[in-house]
Structure 1
Amino acid sequence: MFNSLRKWFDDHFSHPDAIVIVILIVAATTIIFFFGEMLAPVIAASIIAYMLEGFVQFLIKENIPRIIAVYISFFVLIGLMMFFFLGLAPVVSNQIGNFLGDLPKFVVKAGVLLENLPDKLPLGELYATDGIVSGIVGELTTLGQTLLSFSISSIPTMVLALIYLFLVPLLVFFFLKDKDLLISFIKDFVPKDRLLLGRVWKDVDRQIGNYMRGKFYEIVIVGTITYFVFWLMGLNYSALLGVIVGLSVIIPFVGAAIVTVPVIIAAFLQFGFGTDLAWIIGIYFIIQILDGNVLVPILFSEAVNLHPVAIVVAVLIFGGIWGFWGVFFAIPLATVIKSILIAWPSYPQSEC
């Protein structure tokens, strides 16, 4: 048994590149785990700069000097941030405030609907609906108070976010401007013979680059369409629902299933049972079907190819380790692992 384990270890870990990859993985995991919160602006800026690099390269192909392309990309980023914080965020924030203000009305309406439920059920008398109603109403009231207290207690976090708001774009600019200098600096810390590292990085760069750009387009398209459809149908909180439906595409399968709940609840509490509710639900599912069967194949034809089970497992594992950001980056991290496993050197040792 020990001979078999030793042979397997020699087959897969005898190559120097394998040792380098293991060291890099351990070092990166340690840094993120222990210093991730402190380095959050640097990590965020690195990711944004990586996404903007594709746009910079596009401008360079159009015979625009790199420094000019960097400035153009930077101003595009500033424009997007201004739209988000001055245009979209106030609307969504206002709708969240309205929701918290209307929550007591929702609680009363939900309580009345549940109290009348036994009259509509053949075996209604057999169920202890009074206890269920009291429990649900209590939970909803507690939820509203929790959300309100969270919004008040999050003021220090908002101050920190404002600091990041100025720091992250500045870092993005320097990451793009001094890209070659930074890469040269990093190369000094890895072996000169890095054939395997180059192969892994090339594969990861191609897949994750396509994935992140495609995912950004998908979020914008799905969120925008959802907002306009719900707005045209007169659904309250259309901007808020558009944002969460757009963000739900970050987690394939799971995200769409989770966001279905608030969409149905918002429509039900506003329209009650009826054709309007059926239209809202039907159109929402049509959007999801078009996203999965039309938009995704177009945007991700050259991106990651992970089995749905692998995606769910990655979301569970990385989400359990790093919370929201683990869920957010579950698929890119799974792609990195897949690329490493595919490119991992294996040199079977001859039998003695």
Structure 2
Amino acid sequence: MQEPIAFRFSPWKNPANLKLILPLIVGLLLTFFLSIFSTFFFIALLMLLFTSVLRPFVVHLEKRGFNTIGAIILIYTLFLLVIALLFLLIAPQISDQLREMTRLANQLKVNSGQHALEKFISFFAAKLDFLGSPVLQQRLAAQYFAVFVRFLQGAVSFSTTILLSPLHVALLGIAVFFLLKDGAQLQKQIISALPNRFLEFSTIALDNIVNTLAHYFRNHFIILVTCTVVYSSAFYWLNLPYYILLGFLAGFACTIPYFGSIIGASPALLVGLYTFKHGAVLFVLIGVFAAVHFVNMLILKQLHETTSHNIPPLYTLVILLAGYTIWGFWGLFFAMPLAICFVTILKQLMWGIQNFHF
């Protein structure tokens, strides 16, 4: 009788095993720190977004003869004036819509709005035999209703924190100003702090990382603004309540590859279903999202290709689920930009390992 083979896993005796274990450890630590310092990472991403948008204007003025400080102050002043003008025009409406949306979320929790979903599911039950059971219909309605309410509450929290948090806005404004002013100097200091044998690699890698992320965030911003305006206009035309907030959420969701339309449509579908008390509104809103998505992909196809960053749909779904698990509604919007930042840095590190001998 043969004795069982004794198997002992000793990763420290075989350095090749560390290549498998190290990414797992880094991933666990990264998840832990992301869950604790989520606000910091979100502000950092918004800082990179606005810096990437404003940097080309500063460079253009520098080429026209302005000094760096003067160009930054001029562009920053114009940018703040535009933001202040928009704030004065739409802030009262946003405040009213946030209060009404919060009230709606509370009403949905207290007075179950499930009956509207039950009517909608019963419409399909007449067509599909497996939905004929009333118990199954009620159970599906309860599950979908819980998901919709969570989405709506997350939308309120997300909009309040992003749009109406003075502390976050102040920190973001200061950070963007100093990153525009000292970004190039900071990059040089990082390179000079490294040993000389890393000089060539760090110079090339940092330039590639900065340029790639700047290009990504600029495209991100163009898609966000364009889709927000289009969706807000469409919701206003449909007489949908909270059209600014719902348009902002739908526009923000357009920057999410592959699944953005589904995520952005969920709060709008819930609000429309509860407001109009008729299942037909879902088909109208789904048609609006499908039409906007088709036109959006047709016109901004190249920009959307850069936002996916060649990450496959399956990996994108895993990243979104991980972001939603850690941060809730916030994670759906910020998981992909964070992942793309890490992927960009990792690609440069792997390129350096393959092409340089340290």
Whether TM exceeds 0.5 here: the answer is yes
Q: Distance in 2 between matches of 1:226 and 1:238?
A: 8
Q: Secondary structure in 2 aligned to 1:272?
A: coil
Q: Distance in 2 between matches of 1:317 and 1:118?
A: 33
User: Aligned to 2:267, which of 262, 267, 272?
Assistant: 262
After the TM superposition, which of the residue ranges 219-228 and 277-286 deviates more from structure 2?
277-286
Q: What does residue 280 of structure 1 align with?
A: 285
Cα offsets for 1:84-127 (capped at 9, x unmatched): 65444543342232234345489566426637976974878743
Q: Secondary structure in 1 aligned to 2:195?
A: coil
Cα offsets for 1:209-246 (capped at 9, x unmatched): 11100000100001100111121122222212101101
Cα offsets for 1:2-49 (capped at 9, x unmatched): 9xx97979xx9xxxxxxxxx9xx99x9699669846966984685243
Alignment of 1:301-320 (within 5 A): 304-316=309-321
The structure-2 alpha-carbon separation of the partners of 1:314 and 1:202, relative to structure 1 and needing over 3 Å to count, comes to farther
Say yes or no: does 1:71 pair with 2:77.
no
Stretches of structure 1 lacking an aligned partner (at least 5 in a row): 13-21
Q: What does residue 243 of structure 1 align with?
A: 248
Q: Distance in 1 between matches of 2:81 and 2:213?
A: 25
The amino acid of 2:175's aligned partner reads: L
User: Aligned to 1:337, which of 327, 332, 346?
Assistant: 346
Q: Distance in 2 between matches of 1:342 and 1:175?
A: 27
After the TM superposition, which of the residue ranges 119-128 and 162-171 deviates more from structure 2?
119-128
Q: Distance in 1 between matches of 2:240 and 2:187?
A: 50
The amino acid of 1:73's aligned partner reads: I
Give me the identity figure in percent: 18
- Partners of 2:261 and 2:289 within 8 A in 1: no
Number of aligned residue pairs: give it: 327
Q: What does residue 217 of structure 1 align with?
A: 222
Alignment of 1:1-352 (within 5 A): 36=37, 43=44, 47=48, 48-83=50-85, 85-102=87-104, 104=107, 110-111=114-115, 114=118, 121=126, 126-128=133-135, 132=139, 135=142, 161-193=165-197, 194-269=199-274, 270=276, 272-274=278-280, 277-298=282-303, 304-316=309-321, 324=331, 325-345=334-354
Q: Distance in 1 between matches of 2:324 and 2:108?
A: 34
The amino acid of 1:96's aligned partner reads: L
Tell me the C-alpha RMSD between the 2 structures.
Answer: 4.9
The amino acid of 1:61's aligned partner reads: K
Q: State the TM-score, normalized to the length of structure 1.
A: 0.70
Q: Secondary structure in 2 aligned to 1:201?
A: helix
- Partners of 2:55 and 2:180 within 8 A in 1: yes
Larger relative contact order (Cα-Cα within 8 Å, sequence gap ≥ 6): 1
Stretches of structure 2 lacking an aligned partner (at least 5 in a row): 1-9
